[in-house]
Chains A and B, each alone.
Chain A
Amino acid sequence: MTETSTLPKNKVPSSITQVGITTKYTFIDYFRSRRFFILLTITLLIGALLTVLVGYYQPDSFLASELGFYSNWWGNSATYVIILSGIFFGGDAIVGEFQNKTGYFGLPNPIRRSSVYIGKMLAAFSASTAILGIFTLITVVNGVYYFGLSVPLEFAQSVLFAWFYLASVIGFTFFFSSLFKSSTMSTIVTAILFLFAFSLIQTLVSTLVGIEPWFILTYGAQIIGNVLTVPYPEHKVVTSFGGGGQAGVNVGFSLTTFNAQIPVGLAIIGIYFIVTAVLGLILFEIKEFSG
């Protein structure tokens, strides 16, 4: 046959533009999804619960000082909001492309897999930032109510660190999402790691063995709460129990606690983000739609 065909006048945009396109539509999908509303509800519930409890009981730990308020309110809860956001938006982000077959719609197009990966990551980061932003707003409104308009600089620093930590958690969840074949498995393993395993390993390593757990992401995330403590906590704290203080007699024991310092914490968060994001991307690039 010799029939000819005119080529279309479409001009495929650059990969960076395609990242933006993927981010935009994935964000719309996230924003309208049930998971967004569930997470929003959980965040509002945490905020409402804290508002009611602090308002009703007026605890000294919260209301004695401005930094104490932000430390107790934000320092203890923000990491959970971040972890939940990461799990909700990152848990099945990549594995879903294979398992739910959404990849068959977007990927057989003139677009690099890396553009889809980065676009989806940015969308998950944006949706999580929106949730974290709402929790920040609730914190600030309560802080302003009790202490006036002077929001401490340490809180701004803590919010910034929390935002970095969010990026790292998203990177980590995307890595697991690329690694597993089932979204349920990916989500459960990520949740167990962040909510239990990391804390457990961190405690065992530092308390019993006396080694600084610099290789655990949640250890690096300590800086979110630590920065709200004045003075900044000591790097290494050894607490001794028993022993009676008699020379040469050691019947007691000591526990070691490490507090991540800001440069170390930022380094841990940054390295985790880079390593897991890159590994996740490599896995996504080599994974095949063979199912």
Chain B
Amino acid sequence: MPFKLRLICMRMIIMPSIEASNLSKHYGSFAAVSKLNLKIEGAKCVGFLGPNGAGKTTTLKMFTDLIRPSSGEALINGINVHKQKRKALESVGTLIEMPEIYPALTPREALSMIAEIRGVPKAERKTRIEEAVAEVRMNEWIDKRVGKFSKGMKQRICVASAILSDPSVVLLDEPTSGLDPRGMSEVRDIIKALKNKKRLIFMSSHLLSEVSDVCDEVAIIDHGELLVYDTLSNVTSKVSGGESVVEIGLRNTVDAEQVTKIAAKLPYIAKAEKSDGTTFRIHFDGGLEAQEKLLADLVKMKIGIVSYKPASSALEGAYLSLIKNTL
């Protein structure tokens, strides 16, 4: 195989990755991030959780060279961000804090600037900008000056900027912050779409329900130290003594008796409870394999399942338990 073709093939199979290696940031005696070791590889969405001041934003800033680490390395696709920023960030879309855009520019101009800086081919620039703006539902505002926009509208443009260059890694710092419920839902849809495009998404959030809804894995940090990094179900089951909780949505109304009957048919279920009219929750032992089996068994029962997801309250329980342990 010719060298050039081999090179292209090699590039095609590179998995997107981010890695913190002994990453630390100290402000005097205060350790904002302390010897963080975290390697995330492959196309997935990872939620980055922790209380205020835990070091989430500091970590993301070190991954984007807004802050230099006191020690350790931040690597993206194997490239040190601080030594080779241009190369490391060439395939990374970012949204850190709530950026402001030059007020006299229009979204089209602001995104053109980013597209040009990122080297989006001229022929594709216009289409990509319009697609990105359409994705965040800001088409009508594309040629209006940003200075007059609300916080939420600016946040949408910043989300558009993060996805504009079709990056392989997307770093998001509380991406739904400042958005109204519809905006939050739309941004979640965008993140899910990015997942489908096989991107690595690393997002910090305070909203556990959002992380449950969108993410495959979760990393929890507190006092600058990583507490856990695992799949959502493993984290919840580990902390709750091996018990996982899933929330099941049905097409039709469900009553308590029906829920009990379902639970009785599946002996590995620890507990089943009705949540509201069409949803109920199942507590069971085991991780992803048990979760897969449960879904298969429920589908076989033909009870009209329309949704099946890890319960956010399970994550909340795990989160609180982990954070409490560090106080």
Binding site for B on A (CB under 8 A): 1-13, 15, 18, 21-22, 24-26, 28-33, 100-112, 288-290
Contact = CB atoms under 8 A, between A and B. Distances in A.
B210 interface: no
Contacts of A112: 85-86
Contact of B67 (A24, A32, A289): A289
Contacts of B104: 28-33
Given A6-B12, A10-B120, A110-B117, A105 B67 contact: no
Interface string B83-127: 001111111101011111111110001101110111111000000
B67 A7 contact: no
Given A5-B200, A21-B116, A28-B109, A102 B101 contact: yes
Interface in B31-83: 41-44, 58, 61, 64-68
A122 to B, nearest CB: 15
Interface majority SS (helix, strand, loop, mixed), chain B: loop
Given A8-B91, A28-B104, A104-B66, A110 B42 contact: no
B90 to A, nearest CB: 4
B100 A102 contact: yes
Interface majority SS (helix, strand, loop, mixed), chain A: loop
A5 B119 contact: no
Interface residues of B, number: 59
A290 B89 contact: no
A30 B105 CA distance: 10
B166 interface: yes
A10 B118 contact: yes
A12 B61 contact: no
Contacts of B88: 110
B176 interface: no
Contacts of A108: 64-66, 89, 92, 94, 96, 171
Given A13-B119, A105-B161, A108-B65, 14 more contacts: A1-B42, A4-B13, A4-B14, A5-B43, A28-B104, A100-B100, A105-B114, A108-B66, A108-B92, A110-B88, A110-B92, A288-B67, A289-B67, A290-B58
B6 interface: no
B287 interface: no
Q: Which 8 A-B pairs have the closest CB atoms?
A: A104-B99, A1-B42, A108-B64, A32-B104, A105-B99, A289-B66, A3-B43, A29-B102
Nearest to A12: B119
Nearest to A21: B116
18 contacts: A1-B41, A3-B42, A3-B198, A5-B199, A7-B14, A12-B118, A22-B113, A29-B104, A101-B98, A102-B102, A104-B96, A104-B97, A106-B114, A108-B64, A109-B117, A110-B86, A110-B90, A290-B58
